[in-house]
Structure 1
Amino acid sequence: EVASGSSPQPAAAGDSPSPNPAAPGVTASPAAPDFFQAAPTSSSGFQGASTSPSGVPGAPLPGGSAPDAGIPPPQPLIDPPASATRIPPRDLVAGNGVDWTPGTETAAAPNAGGAAASGAEGTARPGDASLEGPQTAQVTLQKVLPGEIQVGKPAVFKIIVRNSGALTVPKLEVRDPIPWGVRVMRTTPQAAQGPQGEILWSLGPLAPGDELALETEVMPLQEGEIGSVATLSVITAASARTTATRPQLVLRAQMPQQVMIGEEVAMLITISNPGSGTAAGVVLEEHVPTELQHPAGTDLENWLGDIRPGETREVQLKLRAVRPGTAGNLLVARAEGNLRVEHRTAVQVLAPQLDLLVEGATRRYLDRQTTYRITIRNPGTAPARNVHLTATLPGGMQFVSADNAGSYDSTTHSVHWLLEELPTNQQGTVELTLVPIAVGTQNLQCDARADLGLAAENSLPVEVEGIAAIHFQVADTLDPVELGRETAYEIRVVNQGTKAAENIQLATVLPEGMRLIAAEGPTAHSASGDEVLFEKLPRLAPKAEVTYRLRVQAAAPGDHRIRVQVLSDDMQLPVTKEESTRIFSDQ
C-alpha cells in the first residue's frame, strides 16, 4: 500500500514487492543539520513485540514448535559492560542477528528541542532564496513484503520512499517496528534502533523524483501472519528574511539657569532620531518639579507620533517659578520597542525668605514685667521688601513698650513694625515689654509679611502662674489679764499672693500658765495637753482670709507666750510666731 502527503502517514504491509526499485544513485542521507536532533538512544539489540495470534508475545502457534527451534542464536555485535546504566543504540548491519526482550530498552531522553528558553539568542542566518514562500513536501511511503516466508529461512522486507513533489526534502525519518515472530539480521542502508525498539532510518536530503529503497533482512521464528506498520516523518525547510533597524532618540532642553520667583520659565525641547529606523509612537513626558508650576498639573505628556530617521522636532514648554530652591527638571521621551531616553536640567529659583524667632521667658508670675525679643531673618537668595512684622498679644498680657518705632493698636491688641527692605542673609531684632495680668497659658503670636507673598509665623507660649503668699497674725484680746480671768487669741490667716493656697494647717502650743477653754476655726480641731491642732484647710483663694480663735484662762502669774505654726503646700517649712501675754495677781 502507498501513502503520500506533507505529514507523516503510516503504511500497512503489502502482498507483493514494489515494481519500482530504488532510484539509481540515491544513498543513505548524510548527517542531519545542527538544528535537527539525533535519534534518542535505546538498547543494543531488539526483537519485535507485536502480539502473536495466540495473544501472547513470542508464544508458538497452535500445533507449532517452540520459538527458535533448530535456529542457532545470533552473536551480539557488541557486548555491553556490566556497569553500564544506559545501552547505546546499535546499528543493524548485514550478517548480525539482534534479539530484543520486552522491558529491556532504555527510555528516551527528554526532548531537548522543546520551546526555546526566554531570552535565548542564536546564530542562524537566512537560507537560500528558494526556501522563501510556501514550502509543501510530497513524499510517498510504500512497504513491500514477500507473499510468504518460512520459519528458519531468511527473508527481505522492503520500504520504498519516493519524493513525488517539486521540493527537495532536507530530512526524513522512517520508523518500522520489528514484527512479531522474526529476528532482524541486517538492514540496508544501515539503520539505528529507536527509543521504542523500532528500526530507525534517518534520511535526506531527497530531491524531487528521487526514490530510496530500505531493506530489512529477517529470520522468521514463528508461524502466522507477520507484518508491521511503518511510519514516515518528513521535515521541510522554509526561510524568510527581513531587515532590522535601530531607532534612537536624543533629547535636549534649553532653559535659563536662574529665574526670579513668580517669573515665567521658557523651555525649548529638541528631540531627534539619529538611528536607522523610525521611532514609532513617540511620547514626550515632563515631570514638573515642585519649584515650578504648569496649569495642567505636574505630569505632562505630548504625543509626537512617529519620528523618521534623521528627523528633529522642537517643542516649547512654559512653566512658572513658584517656590525657591534648585528645581531638578526631568524630561522623558519614550517610543515603541522599549525605547526611552531621559534629560535632566536644573534651574535655580531665586527668592527672599523669612524666618521668625521669638525669644523670652516661657514661665512668668503675675504682675511681673518681662521683655521679649523678636528676630526676623532673610536666609533667601533675594532681598525681602516691605516687611510687615506684627506681634499679637494674648488677653492675659498687657502692653508696656516697644522699640524701633513699634506702634501699639489697642483695638487689635497688637504691635506693628515696618521694614522697607531686609537684605539677603541679614536680620533685624525688636524688643517688646509686657506684663502678665492673668494666669494660664498666654500665647504670644508673631507673623511677618513681605512682597511676593512671603510669610513667616512663630509663637511663644508663656505659662503665667500666681504666687500663694500666706501671712498670719496672732493677737490677744486682753493683755495683761488677771489671774483666773479669761482672755482670747485671734489668729488671722491671709493669702496675700495671686494664687490659691492649698492644704493650710494651723497648730498652737499654749504656755504652762494658761488653760484651754475652747477653740474654733474654719476646720475641726483636736487638743492634747497644751497642743491644739486644726485640720487642713483645702484651699484659700488669693486675697482671702480666715480666722482661728482660742479662749484660754489665766492659770499662773507671769509673762507667758503662745506659739503658733502655719504650713501649706506652697511652703517648704512651717512659719512660727509667738504672742506674749502677762498674767498678774493682787496677792
Structure 2
Amino acid sequence: AASVDVLTDAAGQARAEIFQKQPASGTNRICVQVIKSVGATAGDGRQLIIGSGMTTVTWTSAATAQPPTTTPAVPGMPTTPSAPGTPAIPGAAWLDVKTTGPTQVNVGGKVTFRITVTNRGTATARNLVIRVRFDSGLEHEQATGIIERSLGDLPAGHARIIEIAFRAVKPGKLCHIVEVTGDGGLRATDQSCVNGVTAATPGTTYPPTVPQLPGKIEPKTPTVPEPAKPVLQVTVSVRKIAPHGQAGARQERPDSLDRRRGELFSVGDWAAFYIKVTNTGTQTLSNVTVVADHDSPLSPEMATEGNKRIGNSLTWLIASMPPGEAYALESHCECKSVSARACLRVRAKAASGAQAEAEACVQIGPAAGPTIGPKLPGDVTTAAPLDLVISDLFDPIALGGLQTYVITVTNLGQVPDRNVRLTVTLPPQMTLEKLGVTGPTALEPVVGRTVRFEPAPELRPGKENKLEYRVRAWAKQPGKAIARAEVTSLNNPQPKSDEAETTVVMSP
C-alpha cells in the first residue's frame, strides 16, 4: 500500500492529490491518520496518533463521462468495514462495529441484539469501552438509559461478540446506539432499531346452545385486563447449616439443600434464612426498608452487613433499586428453645408505598445430645479438634464489589488450646483490601494472596470464647471464586480447613 506524509498549514489543513498509475474503473478506500510529533528535540522521532478516518474514491471509465466521486471521511468513525485484502494503515488499530437483531417484537416481548466489534487494523486496540444508549421504549433488566462496559484490549484481526437483551415496553420504532472507544482516539458507532407492535388478543367464542346457522358469528368473550403485577417482591427460604460451634461441618448453600425440605430442627441447631427482595416493576424504587422479625426461639447471630438490630429484629435500608434489581440478604440464627412453629417474617416497603412481605418457619425439637456414661478409671480428658468456619456475606457479588469473609475458630474441647494460627488464601479473582482486615491478633506481612495472622496465645473452650476474623477483598475477575481458611494450634498441629465459594458476576 502506498502512503504519503503531508504537513498541515497554519490553518491546520493538509492537501494531497491522488491519481491512478493505470486507468481503471473501481473504488479505492483511503485511510487517513492525524499524527502529532511529541519529541522534545528535533529528530526525536516520537509520534502520537490523535485522530483517524477513512474515505472512498470511485473511478469511472471514459465512456460513462462521470467525474470521480468520494465519500467524506468522519474522523474516528469508519463508514464501512474494510473489505478483505484492503490495505490498512501500518501500525494502527481500526475499529468496526456491527449490530444485528430482529426487525419486529411484540410489546412486552424480549428482543436480543448481537454486537460484533472487529479490529480491522494492524495493531492491538487498547482499553476498549462499549457504551449502549437505548430509547425509553426499551427496558434493560439492570440498567436505565445507558449501559457501559469495559472490553479490554482487542488484537489486530480479532473480533468480540456481545449480546444484549431488552424488553419492549412501548410500540413504535425502538432504537439503540452502540459506541466503542479506545486509546489513541479510536471510536466506532452503529445503530439498530426494532419495530414494537401490540399483539392482537384473539377472542374466545361461547359454546353454541342451538344448532348454528351457516355464517352465524358467535359472540366473543369480553377481554378482562390482567391485574397489575406487584412492583416489589419478597421471598424467604430456610435451610439447616453447620453450627458455628461444631467441628468438621461447613456451611451449605440453599441451592444444594432442596432435598432437605421439611427437616426438623433441634435446640442448638443453626438455621440460615435467605431473603430475596426484587423490584419487579419498571421504575426505580428508592429508600426500600427491609425488616426481618424473628420469633423468640430464633436468635439472630450473624447477618448481612449494613443491618440495624433492635431486640430480635433486623432492619436494612436499600437506597435505590433499579427495575429488575434483586438484593440477597441472610440471617443466621441459633435455635434456642423448643417450638412447634418459629418464624422469620420479612416486610419490605419503598418510599413510593410499594410493599411486600413473606415468611419462613421451622419446627424446633429438643436437643438430641449423646449419652454420656460414667468416667472409667484411667480416662484422660483430651483436647477436641478446633472448629473452623469461613463464610462470605455476599453471593453473588458484582465485579468491582467489596466482599467480606467472616472466619470463626472455636475450641470444642475441655481444656484451653494455645498458639492458634489462622491462614486465609484468597482466590485469584479477589484482591485484598488491607484496611478491611480485622482479628484478635495482628496481621503478618502479606505474601501474594495469602493472609496470615499472628498466633493467638490462648483459646479457651466454649462458643463464647471463639475467635472471629474478617478479611475483605475486591472482586476483580468474573467466575467462581473459592476462598480457603486453615487453622493450626498446639493441640491440633494438623491443619483444619474450610472453604467459601462466591460467584462474581459482570456489572451491568
Determine if the TM-score, normalized by the shorter chain, exceeds 0.5.
no
TM-score, length basis structure 1: 0.22
TM-score, normalised with respect to structure 2: 0.25
Larger radius of gyration between Structure 1 and Structure 2:
1
